[in-house]
Structure 1
């Protein structure tokens, strides 16, 4: 089950965190993985780990917010069976203290970045008779989170974008779904805590963990496992869906 042998998979932001976990798992399941990464060194580390384990991986330096760069990379790759739109950035702030510059920066990466990859990949998928897309949304698209105005808005756009693409390309054999994680323990989380709560790291980590009803943060490998299912032939009847993977955050918080 969940065999990706012979598939060409593109993962954006595959140099760390959830994107790295997805890249490593997809390669382990037989896919030839193409990592699009602004941080080329991080992408290379992921690719080296994959190759060391006997998998196939390539790294492409690209800023997903720049359409010309993205289109050029996809043209170089050629066939794309799987696209995982994972690259994204966070922002802390409400509507009053979110500057225009910050708002635009979040949208350029989180929304335009996903659009650019879809713009490049969908015509190729149509021409080859189908493909699978997974967009990384967030619980922030479905519940109100304090001081996440720009981020939540961007992930709401990803949620709607997923439905639109899924509906428009049913006849083309392209499936499109999204995943909505709650807080996942990645290097980004550790860096955020260290930067904003110096000297109180353990306390804040415990507090953030308790905010998930299940009592802990998610792990990147857990998100990767769900992405694998959605991109596999076993999920061939699944499209236009969002999958919260949130330790009960949306339904069980009280």
Structure 2
């Protein structure tokens, strides 16, 4: 087995031009600097971008889809199309699949992550999106509910502001674009640290990623995570957890978690998933 480097030279920092996955904590700036949305537009090809907007998580898909379409058109995208999918059968629509073959970026809006997964999981359309993302052919972004679905295990709902306990979080299966993470969004804004800890207590092999509003964890294909935006990205690493009473206590009783590693990253900070190491802004 080849030896993995433990030091990360500045020359190895990720470039800003190739495709990526943008996991956005919700409420991203849509009016002023639009830094996160502009980064997605650039990574999708800039003036050559052909963007598919999927608002299926929303109860008002046309309204929210049109909003993002206007934003990306104002930025200068070559093509934008709203894929208004409201039925699983549409995930087999050849017209939608043809556009996915042509597009350079896919944007998943906010709403209800269970609704999004229910409509798109295991459809030919979503499988093709996943394949193109994994091959580095297109840039993917998801905000709020669109961020929650990124891992294999997904936080589907729950409460906030309490101590960690099993009843605090509802789990489901996500769309698995980045299987090794569990995402929570609107993170510090809605006091969701205990909810993420509750999720991680049952899946310590996963990396907990809590993303604040107007903040993005940008994942490169080579394992880099870069932080963009106004808030922070909280990383909870439980892979060396020495003890938890998670299986021994009642659903509403407090959970113990010993020997967690927590990183708080802000704009410009980086983290390497494979080396499990944060790197400050260079």
Taking structure 1 as the reference length, what is the TM-score of the superposition?
0.46
The structure that is strand-richer by fraction is 2
Q: Give the number of the structure whose alpha-carbon radius of gyration is greater.
A: 2
Taking structure 2 as the reference length, what is the TM-score of the superposition?
0.43
The structure that is helix-richer by fraction is 1
